Amino acid sequence: MRLNLALVTLVSAVAAQDLGVPLSWRKFSNSRPKSERITIAQNAINQMTPQLNANTGEFNGIGFWQSGNAWSVLANQDWLAGTTTNKNLVVNNLNLVFRRWAHYDQFQFNDDAMWWAQACLYAYRAYQDTNLLNHAIDVWTHVTGYVITAAQASAHKNPNKSFSLQSTCEGATMAGGVFWRPTTDDQAVNSVTTGLYITLSAFLAEYTKNGTYTSAAILSANWIKAHNINSNNLVLDTVNAADCSRSPANWLFTYNSGKYIEGLSVLGAVTGDSQWNSLMINILNSAVKTNAWQGSDGIITEGASPSSNNDGAGFKAIFIRGIHEAWTRNPNNSALRTLIHSYGDVQYNALLDLAATGNTYSSAWHGPPQGFTSWGQLAALDVMTCNIDTN
Ligand SMILES: *[C@@H]1O[C@H](CO)[C@@H](O)[C@H](O)[C@H]1NC(C)=O
Ligand SMILES: *[C@@H]1O[C@H](CO)[C@@H](O)[C@H](O)[C@H]1NC(C)=O
Ligand SMILES: *[C@@H]1O[C@H](CO)[C@@H](O)[C@H](O)[C@H]1NC(C)=O
């Protein structure tokens, strides 16, 4: 009995980790040298920065959360290129926006606040500026009031919410779930807010060595694991904490998997617990191959929106950044690295071959090329910057 079970487990674990690169993918390698890749990425950033509104620290043509993500990629560019080209802009504007909006929360969304806190952590990684680390801790402390603790789940009550919580949904505790919004009546707990909280917690654990953050990351990682992964290993969107109802099964967005992949990658490194990396690899392998957001050529179709801003254009940037973190944290897993490298090159080559006008890029990665849009540029920046590494 025991032996049979062990064999079944082994077989499914091996089957789940076939990390082969689909040969149908379009152009999954390129030979541009690193210096050229750094230039391509910084040139793309240089097309974005004229859109900065110096009074608000936000960019014209994209939303508040997307502006936070623009700062993320500028910081990561310096980290990966070993430069300080973007440092003053990044640091000054992250400080400006922190002064303007308590906890970076302009519109009462916990995920908005954490996109900006995440930018602060990337900037801390690039520049070791302690003020930015403290901004991230401020947001973490604020959002922690909206994380369902084990005691709150048992008591059916979060002190910041006006309704009665379900202690379990489909048999699993709601502990670790993070409310999307701080407003007292909003009942949604979702993967992106929880995934952001996992990632912030894991980075803070790494930078401060404070076990409070590790425990928080584990509790929330277990919430997504128990509630919000479908049978194809893709991360789902929302669970309602008042009645356990769910977002439609076809609400599949790259960033839900991407942010969880990122958080698990850091959590795996911080804890040394291999279950997080195994789970991460299964999700990543599915996410780069699913037909939910790409065809057999591998090019992401989500958020292709030539004429108006679309949140989806921001989603796919988060996904690319998440799988880059997996690449960074797994230097010895050559099959995983080859898969991430190949997928990254598919997107990179599509942008350069099919969607480019000079150094500006369409949000439609199959093209055609078009004039500059802030959201198209934002979506492309993470591809360009991550490719400095993963190519
Ligand atoms: C609500 O959340 C905040 C964090 O944003 C926390 O400081 C506060 O204690 C919570 N409120 C209550 C009544 O627990
Ligand atoms: C660890 O982090 C928590 C949460 O921010 C904080 O309350 C606590 O004081 C920290 N502990 C130490 C030793 O710094
Ligand atoms: C990768 O392998 C090297 C050599 O065996 C080892 O020293 C290093 O710790 C490994 N890195 C990780 C992240 O596992």
Residue nearest to atom 4 of ligand 2 (CA): 212
| CA–centroid distance, residue 210 to ligand 2 (Å) | 6
Greater pLDDT, 182 or 13: 182
Look at residue 337 and tell me if it is in a domain.
Answer: yes
CB distance 323 to 284 below 8 Å: yes
If one counts the domains in the chain, the total is 1
pLDDT score recorded for residue 13: 46
Look at residue 344 and tell me if it is in a domain.
Answer: yes
pLDDT-derived band at 15 (thresholds 50, 70, 90) equals very low
Residue nearest to atom 14 of ligand 2 (CA): 210
State which of 141, 160, 178 you would mutate to test the pocket of ligand 1, scoring each by most atoms of that ligand within 8 A of its C-beta.
160
Of 42, 54, 142, 151, nearest in space to 102 by CA: 142
Cβ neighbours of residue 272 closer than 8 Å, sequence gap 6 or more: none
Look at residue 389 and tell me if it is in a domain.
Answer: yes
pLDDT score recorded for residue 320: 98
Q: Give the pair of three-digit tokens for residue 191.
A: 């993967």
Three-state DSSP state, 113: helix
Residue spans of alpha helices (H) in the chain: 2-16, 34-48, 64-81, 87-100, 110-127, 130-144, 150-155, 191-208, 211-227, 254-271, 274-287, 311-329, 334-354, 374-390
| CA–centroid distance, residue 305 to ligand 1 (Å) | 39
Look at residue 41 and tell me if it is in a domain.
Answer: yes
pLDDT score recorded for residue 5: 40
| CA–centroid distance, residue 217 to ligand 2 (Å) | 14
Q: State the closest ligand 3 atom to the C-alpha of 330, by its place in the atom list counted from 1.
A: 13
Expressed as residue numbers, the domain containing 301 is 26-53+293-391
Which of 14-28, 164-178, 251-265 is least confident?
14-28
Which of 14-18, 218-222, 371-375 is least confident?
14-18
pLDDT-derived band at 235 (thresholds 50, 70, 90) equals very high
Does residue 237 have a pLDDT over 50? yes
Does residue 118 have a pLDDT over 70? yes
Percentage of residues in the chain having pLDDT higher than 70? 96
Amino acid at residue number 68: G
Look at residue 159 and tell me if it is in a domain.
Answer: no
> Closest-lying ligand to the alpha carbon of 102?
1
CB distance 303 to 379 below 8 Å: yes
Q: What is the average per-residue pLDDT within 252-275?
A: 98
Three-state DSSP state, 147: strand
Of 374, 273, 275, 281, nearest in space to 322 by CA: 281
As beta bridge partners, residue 173 has 168
User: What is the pTM (predicted TM-score) of this model?
Assistant: 0.95
Q: What is the average per-residue pLDDT within 299-304?
A: 98
| CA–centroid distance, residue 100 to ligand 2 (Å) | 26
Look at residue 217 and tell me if it is in a domain.
Answer: no
Q: What is the average per-residue pLDDT within 151-157?
A: 98
Three-state DSSP state, 306: coil
Does residue 2 have a pLDDT over 90? no
Look at residue 66 and tell me if it is in a domain.
Answer: no
> Closest-lying ligand to the alpha carbon of 152?
1
CB distance 258 to 321 below 8 Å: yes
pLDDT score recorded for residue 238: 98
As beta bridge partners, residue 229 has 235
Residue nearest to atom 7 of ligand 1 (CA): 145
Look at residue 75 and tell me if it is in a domain.
Answer: no
The DSSP 8-state label assigned to residue 369 in this structure reads: -
